Amino acid sequence: MLVSKNAAQKPYKRLALRGSLVSARLLVLALLNLPQPGLAAEINPAIWPASWLAPAKTASELNITDFKEPPLLAALVENGKLPPLSARLPLDPMVLEPADSIGSYGGTARIFESDWNMFNPVESPLSIDPTVAHILPNTIKTWELTDEGRTITFKLRAGIKWSDGEPLDADDFIFFHRHQLLNPELSPVLDPRWLDSRTEKVDDLTFSYHFKEPFPLLINLMAQLGDYYVIPSDYMRQFHPDFVNREALIKRIRQEGYISWMAYYNAIRLWTRNQPPLMPTLRPFQLIKRTATSKLYNRNAYYAKVDPQGQQLPYIDKINADIIENQDVLAAKAATGQVDFAAFELKTQDFPLFKLGEKTAEIKVHVWKRLHGSDVIIEPNLNIRDERLKAVFQDIRFRKALSVAINRDEMNSIIYFNKGVPRQATVIPTSRFFEPTFASAYTEYDPAQARIWLDEMGLTDRDGDGFRDYGNEERLTITLEFLDFETPKNISLELVTSYWREVGLDIRLKEVDPALQTSRATAGLMQMTVWHADRTTDILFPFQPMWYVPMHTGWEESHWNDWATYYLSKGLRGERPPAEIIQLQTWWDELTRSTDPQRVTTLGKNILRSTAENLWTIGTVGLAPQPVVVGHRLKNVAVQGYWGWDNRWTMPYHPATWYLEK
Amino acid sequence: MGTYILKRLLAMIPTLIIISVIVFILIQLPPGDIISANLAALQQQGMEVSTEQIEALRAQYNLDMPLPLQYFHWIFNFMQGDMGYSIKYEQPVNTLIWERLGYTVIIAVASLLFTWALAIPIGIYSAVKQYSFGDYLFTVIGLLGLATPSFMLALILMYCAYTWFGISVGGLFSPEYAEAPWSLSKTADLLSHIWIPMIVLGTAGTASIMRVMRANLLDELSKPYVVTARAKGVRPMKLIFKYPVRIAINPFISTIGWLLPTLISGEAIVSIVLNLPTTGPLLLQALLSQDMFLAGSFLMLLSILTVLGMLLSDILLAVVDPRIRYE
């Protein structure tokens, strides 16, 4: 009680800060007339074409027999520079339904280079549905798990070709596995799951992977990052010493200034090399030119999908992608309608700018939902070297007090214009692992209860300076180090620390740079840090539940490094975790190996329930609004969607069907 | 003169050796290296990288070698014209720098000409008409230019250019010309964009050059030879330009050498704001990400240009000013 009284003597600072933020927000709301809170965490699937939610139909299933090609390519065919459309398309191509209308051919789209993955989406062998809950066939038609998930067999769709006209076949997957993934020079250290793995070619279109341990999650990988597991083998052979003379290859590479054949190989593969020839692709567009200021893409003449009228996709002929290094310039260009599409580098805080742009320039800003369980996730370091602080952090009452002391509704209204969802960091509602309590646990704003818990712990204000102290009169001070990028971390933490100060906790903010974040987080030196809780869908949560299970160390999570290290090194290094943590790791181990869907769901829920009960990390506001700026002449962009790494941003929303209105 | 230049050239060698060692050490000083910075970028894209992988990656780029060995490896290649390999950009450093150098030189020369064309006449005017209304007016404008942060000016000009003239924000070309081959209209497009960086970069230097010119000239104007010439009836304009101005301009010639390094480093912040394809932002990125070879070779190049620039200044001074030549 004493504490709260003392803390209440210094509210002016906090009120001043909050006051200015609130008034700024009111101003923005008044200016823009933004709709008031819509707390729906899920997007209604009815806004997308129903066909997106199911495996794509093929032309024969839809009785499409007549295929058309863009005038640009028809001219090339006439000149004999390109084989006819029938030789380029598969016999029975997949059909993509556009979001709004059938498009017309032509035009050059203007985008930022940072959006190249969003405008020219990856062609992953398996695809993901718009709700980010299901895996759909794409270039791989069917898959089968046998031997309890130790053998996985894939069957490719027939007749798909790379942009150089070579067929996509089993060799392209096998080449990647044998000559890239298992090549000790190209992949110096292997993910343990792939140790002693084998690939086997059944026929031209059928191949299988064999693993020591069950690896059913390969299906998720094939969907989310599947474009990584296949490579145009006919083309890449010429850069690989398994197929060409090593000395000759190295000599050629030295002439171009590359440091090793691996660097050269990767430069070709990742399209970072300046001059053609460039690696063939399966995507709708192929990079053809790269300068210091821009990249130029042309349509892929062999793109293997058509629209419901049999027109070969994509509709757009070319992409001109400007390389912009400054985010403010980028936002200004987007807001003044100087590009047709922009999203990746746009910030939530710039919504007012884009809304203004809707009035003065020819743009529309769509509000997509970021795939973050929480835009800012707070990580008290449970393995901190300081024993006294460790005892505080490991006390559940402390973490609960931190959580209920945060006014999430106010954060949502100040930072996210009420378009986010106040919640703990957990999976998104469309996930099969989701339960409402996982998101709502200890999110009710209750500073009085927080004070009670902190008082109970003996963390009272002994010297009367308004801040809580350890048992002696030494103040409990926590340094929160953070890297301010991707999500609005700075402003979020300004608010969070002001809430915590109100219950008598002295939290100091310290911004760090990427190198420092990496080195200090991986060394476990940070008392507290924050990140954004991504990987919160059925696609990636089972694979990398890093916020909920100590199974990984990196720059993004620093709250239980020693326990994770113990697990990763099989007990050789790190510190033996308590039983409940070992239980989490055991559950996850089983989850990754299980082929029983019900068991997987149960295990996933167990893990998430543990986080909801124990608050290993503390969430703030999730499913935050992502601005997606679309120029008036660009059509068919979905009005809403989930924005994130889990679904490769736009992959489920089919940018190949976007077109430019004349 | 020949022996003088030769001596100066020889003296550069130890200077550059010391600079190269300092550059190398400075780049190694901060915690972490390009691999850990790269790692951060990989993780940002959702990739998982383990400690063992990091060590293996280090080995691929020779970063596991002892530091002295790394140094000799780098400097030996540098002397042969191979500036090394940028891990961040996954490209040879030579390629990266050359593709940006052309624009950098165009912008630097344009802004330099702008500065001089503006500052020297105004400086002369201010000195000749000391304490006149015009003198005060230009002084105020000049000091305003000096005090305004250049990136701020850049943003304001960009805004004005877009709202009034519809010129696209940032960059040197409109989108339709960016990839087009060089033509008359592309050159016109370049000229319609280059005035912003030219003014922004030029304004900052204008005020100081203006004031220096004014002060130097004032010193000269009160000297007896000027008074004598006036008394003998030399026409005022001819008098000023033939003698005092030539002397007053000396400080600029002595600093002309400093321009060489700025050709390369440029105004990084302005270039980033204006999105110019110059070398400045590249240097900044290299330093931020601790891209050893890119940053090191860059700094080495700057040092060499600085040292050469100083020599160039000294030679030019001797050529222009007979007094120095005869001393």
Q: Which of B50, B52, B53 to mutate to test the interface with A (most CBs of A within 10 A)?
A: B50
Helices A396-404, A447-456: inter-axial angle, 10-degree rounding: 160
- Answer yes or no: is B30 within a domain: no
Tokens describing residue A46: 């009815």
Tokens describing residue A640: 């809403």
Please tell me which of the candidates A260, A332, A645 has its beta carbon nearest to residue B60.
A260
Q: A57: burial class by Cβ within 10 Å (0-12, 13-18, 19+)?
A: middle
Report the DSSP beta bridge partners of residue A506. A477
Task: Kindly state whether B199 is in contact with chain A, defined as any CB-CB distance less than 8 angstroms.
Answer: no
CA distance A77 to chain B (A): 25
Tokens describing residue B226: 């000027």
Q: Read off the pLDDT of residues B13-45 as tens digits, 9 standing for 90 and up.
A: 999 999 999 988 887 777 667 676 666 656 544
Strands A374-380 and A528-533: antiparallel
Stretch B61-83: mean pLDDT: 85
Report the DSSP beta bridge partners of residue A469. A475
CA distance A380 to chain B (A): 21
pLDDT at residue B19 in the model: 92
* Closest to B218 (Cα-Cα) out of B207, B230, B229, B226: B226
CA distance A56 to chain B (A): 27
Stretch A328-337: mean pLDDT: 89
Count of C-beta atoms within a 10 Å radius of residue B265: 22
Q: Which chain A positions have a beta carbon within 8 Å of B60's beta carbon?
A: 188, 259-260, 262-263
Q: Which chain B positions have a beta carbon within 8 Å of A263's beta carbon?
A: 60, 85, 90
Residue A299 one-letter amino acid: R
Q: Which of B62, B169, B292, B293 to mutate to test the interface with A (most CBs of A within 10 A)?
A: B169
Instruction: Give the nearest chain B residue to A109 (CA atoms).
Output: B175
Residues of chain B numbered 81-120 and touching chain A (CB < 8 Å): 82, 85, 89-92, 94-95, 99-100, 103
Strands A108-112 and A126-128: unpaired
pLDDT at residue A495 in the model: 97
What's the domain count of chain B? 1
Which residue reads 């919640």 in tokens? A423
Tokens describing residue B263: 């050709």
Count of C-beta atoms within a 10 Å radius of residue A399: 21
Helix (H, G, I), strand (E, B) or coil at A337: coil
Say which DSSP state A204 is in. T
pLDDT at residue A259 in the model: 83
Task: Kindly state whether B211 is in contact with chain A, defined as any CB-CB distance less than 8 angstroms.
Answer: no
Report the DSSP beta bridge partners of residue A511. A482
Stretch A193-207: mean pLDDT: 95
User: pLDDT-based confidence at A652, cuts 50/70/90?
Assistant: very high
Instruction: Give the nearest chain B residue to A189 (CA atoms).
Output: B53
CA distance A159 to chain B (A): 31
**pLDDT > 90: what percent of chain A?**
79
B90 and A263 within 8 Å at the Cβ level: the answer is yes
Sign of CA dihedral B49, B50, B53, B57: positive
Sign of CA dihedral A21, A27, A32, A37: positive
Instruction: Give the nearest chain B residue to A556 (CA atoms).
Output: B43
Q: Which of A262, A325, A344 to mutate to test the interface with B (most CBs of B within 10 A)?
A: A325
pLDDT at residue A274 in the model: 67
Report the DSSP beta bridge partners of residue B86. B91
Please tell me which of the candidates A294, A328, A516 has its beta carbon nearest to residue B178.
A294
Task: Kindly state whether B45 is in contact with chain A, defined as any CB-CB distance less than 8 angstroms.
Answer: yes
Helix (H, G, I), strand (E, B) or coil at A162: coil
Instruction: Give the nearest chain A residue to B281 (CA atoms).
Output: A325
Specify the higher pLDDT residue, B310 or A367: A367
- Answer yes or no: is B39 within a domain: no
User: pLDDT-based confidence at B170, cuts 50/70/90?
Assistant: low
Q: Which of A326, A356, A522 to mutate to test the interface with B (most CBs of B within 10 A)?
A: A326
pLDDT at residue B317 in the model: 82
Q: Read off the pLDDT of residues A338-386 as tens digits, 9 standing for 90 and up.
A: 899 999 999 999 999 999 999 999 999 999 999 999 999 999 999 999 9
Q: Which chain A positions have a beta carbon within 8 Å of B285's beta carbon?
A: 325
Given a cut of 60, is residue A599 above it in pLDDT?
yes
Q: Which chain B positions have a beta carbon within 8 Å of A489's beta carbon?
A: none
Count of C-beta atoms within a 10 Å radius of residue A383: 21
Query: Average pLDDT, whole number, for chain B?
Result: 81
pLDDT at residue A364 in the model: 97
Cα separation, B214 vs A154, whole angstroms? 80
CA distance B52 to chain A (A): 6
Q: A65: burial class by Cβ within 10 Å (0-12, 13-18, 19+)?
A: exposed
Q: Read off the pLDDT of residues A147-183 as tens digits, 9 standing for 90 and up.
A: 999 999 999 999 999 999 999 999 999 999 999 999 9
B91 and A272 within 8 Å at the Cβ level: the answer is yes
Count of C-beta atoms within a 10 Å radius of residue A31: 11
User: pLDDT-based confidence at A185, cuts 50/70/90?
Assistant: confident
Q: A403 near A453, Cβ under 8 Å?
A: no
* Closest to A612 (Cα-Cα) out of A420, A426, A395: A426
Compute the radius of gyration of chain A from its Cα atoms. Answer: 27
C-alpha distances out from residue B11 to A300, A396, B256, B306, Å: 58, 68, 20, 14
Residues of chain A with CATH 3.10.105.10: 2-36+371-534
A274 and B99 within 8 Å at the Cβ level: the answer is yes
* Stated length of chain A: 662
Task: Kindly state whether B53 is in contact with chain A, defined as any CB-CB distance less than 8 angstroms.
Answer: yes
* Closest to A191 (Cα-Cα) out of B47, B44, B42: B47
Among the CATH numbers 3.30.565.10, 3.10.105.10, 3.40.50.970, 1.10.260.40, which is that of A2-36+371-534?
3.10.105.10
Cα separation, A339 vs B169, whole angstroms? 11
Given a cut of 80, is residue A24 above it in pLDDT?
no
- Answer yes or no: is B150 within a domain: yes
Stretch A416-437: mean pLDDT: 95
Given a cut of 80, is residue A33 above it in pLDDT?
no
- Answer yes or no: is B58 within a domain: no
pLDDT at residue B37 in the model: 63
Residue A181 one-letter amino acid: L
Tokens describing residue A454: 């902190």
**Residue B129: which CATH number?**
1.10.3720.10
Enumerate residues 6+ apart whose C-beta is below 8 A from A24.
none
Residue A49 one-letter amino acid: P
Instruction: Give the nearest chain B residue to A546 (CA atoms).
Output: B48
Cα separation, A323 vs A332, whole angstroms? 14
Stretch B65-77: mean pLDDT: 87
ipTM of the complex: 0.78
Given a cut of 50, is residue A247 above it in pLDDT?
yes
Q: A274 near B95, Cβ under 8 Å?
A: yes
A322 and B178 within 8 Å at the Cβ level: the answer is yes
Instruction: Give the nearest chain A residue to B82 (CA atoms).
Output: A257
Q: Read off the pLDDT of residues B287-309 as tens digits, 9 standing for 90 and up.
A: 877 787 888 888 888 888 888 88
Residues of chain B numbered 156-175 and touching chain A (CB < 8 Å): 158, 162, 168-173, 175
Specify the higher pLDDT residue, A206 or A41: A206
* Closest to A292 (Cα-Cα) out of B99, B290, B312, B178: B99
Q: Read off the pLDDT of residues A45-67 as tens digits, 9 standing for 90 and up.
A: 999 999 999 999 999 999 999 99
**pLDDT > 90: what percent of chain B?**
10
CA distance B237 to chain A (A): 47
**Winning range, highest mean pLDDT, from B51-65, B241-255, B260-274:** B241-255
Burial call A594-610: b when 16+ CB within 10 Å, e when fewer: beeeeebbbbbbbbbbb
Stretch A489-501: mean pLDDT: 96
Report the DSSP beta bridge partners of residue B85. B92
Burial call A260-298: b when 16+ CB within 10 Å, e when fewer: bbbbbbbbbbeeebbeeebbbbbbbbbbeebebbbbbbb
User: pLDDT-based confidence at B278, cuts 50/70/90?
Assistant: confident
DSSP H helical segments within A569-636, as ranges? 579-593, 597-614
User: pLDDT-based confidence at A202, cuts 50/70/90?
Assistant: very high
Enumerate residues 6+ apart whose C-beta is below 8 A from A199.
A173, A174, A177, A178, A207, A208, A209, A210
A260 and B158 within 8 Å at the Cβ level: the answer is no
Please tell me which of the candidates B31, B48, B178 has its beta carbon nearest to residue A516.
B31
Helix (H, G, I), strand (E, B) or coil at A62: coil
Rounded to the nearest 5°, which phi and psi values hold at A130?
-60, -25
Residues of chain A with CATH 3.90.76.10: 140-281
Residue A234 one-letter amino acid: D
Please tell me which of the candidates A328, A333, A518 has its beta carbon nearest to residue B36.
A518
Cα separation, B26 vs B71, whole angstroms? 12
pLDDT at residue B43 in the model: 58
Query: Average pLDDT, whole number, for chain A?
Result: 91
Question: Where in the sequence is the domain holding B219, given as residue range(s)?
Answer: 99-326
Please tell me which of the candidates A191, A257, A270 has its beta carbon nearest to residue B94.
A257
Residues of chain B numbered 264-323 and touching chain A (CB < 8 Å): 272-275, 277, 281, 285, 288, 290
Strands A206-210 and A151-156: antiparallel
User: pLDDT-based confidence at A422, cuts 50/70/90?
Assistant: very high
Stretch A108-122: mean pLDDT: 94
User: pLDDT-based confidence at A39, cuts 50/70/90?
Assistant: very low
Helix (H) or strand (E) holding A126: strand A126-128
Cα separation, A481 vs A525, whole angstroms? 10
Q: A271 near A300, Cβ under 8 Å?
A: no
Rounded to the nearest 5°, which phi and psi values hold at A339?
-135, 165
Q: A359 near A352, Cβ under 8 Å?
A: no
Q: Read off the pLDDT of residues A518-573 as tens digits, 9 standing for 90 and up.
A: 878 888 899 999 999 999 999 999 999 999 999 988 888 889 999 998 998 888 88
Q: Read off the pLDDT of residues B104-153 as tens digits, 9 standing for 90 and up.
A: 888 888 888 888 898 889 999 999 999 999 999 988 888 888 888 888 88
Enumerate residues 6+ apart whose C-beta is below 8 A from B277.
A291, A292, A293, B99, B100, B103, B171, B172
User: pLDDT-based confidence at B265, cuts 50/70/90?
Assistant: low
Given a cut of 90, is residue A610 above it in pLDDT?
yes
Report the DSSP beta bridge partners of residue A69. none
Q: A432 near A516, Cβ under 8 Å?
A: no
- Considering the segment(s) A140-281 as one domain, its CATH architecture is Alpha-Beta Complex (3.90)
pLDDT at residue A12 in the model: 41
pLDDT at residue A321 in the model: 93
C-alpha distances out from residue A506 to A444, A464, A484, A547, Å: 22, 13, 21, 25
Instruction: Give the nearest chain A residue to B41 (CA atoms).
Output: A514
User: pLDDT-based confidence at B268, cuts 50/70/90?
Assistant: confident
Stretch A391-396: mean pLDDT: 96
B90 and A267 within 8 Å at the Cβ level: the answer is yes
pLDDT at residue A530 in the model: 96
pLDDT at residue A277 in the model: 63
* Closest to A95 (Cα-Cα) out of A319, A303, A318: A303
B60 and A262 within 8 Å at the Cβ level: the answer is yes
* Closest to B275 (Cα-Cα) out of B151, B182, B94, B166: B151
User: pLDDT-based confidence at B320, cuts 50/70/90?
Assistant: confident
Q: A21 near A417, Cβ under 8 Å?
A: no
Work out how many CB contacts closer than 8 A connect A with B: 133
Given a cut of 50, is residue A9 above it in pLDDT?
no
Count of C-beta atoms within a 10 Å radius of residue B176: 14
Q: A270 near A116, Cβ under 8 Å?
A: no
Q: Which of A329, A372, A517 to mutate to test the interface with B (most CBs of B within 10 A)?
A: A329
Cα separation, A637 vs A628, whole angstroms? 10
CATH node for A113-119+285-367+628-662: 3.40.190.10
Report the DSSP beta bridge partners of residue A508. A479
CA distance B166 to chain A (A): 10
Tokens describing residue B55: 């060590």
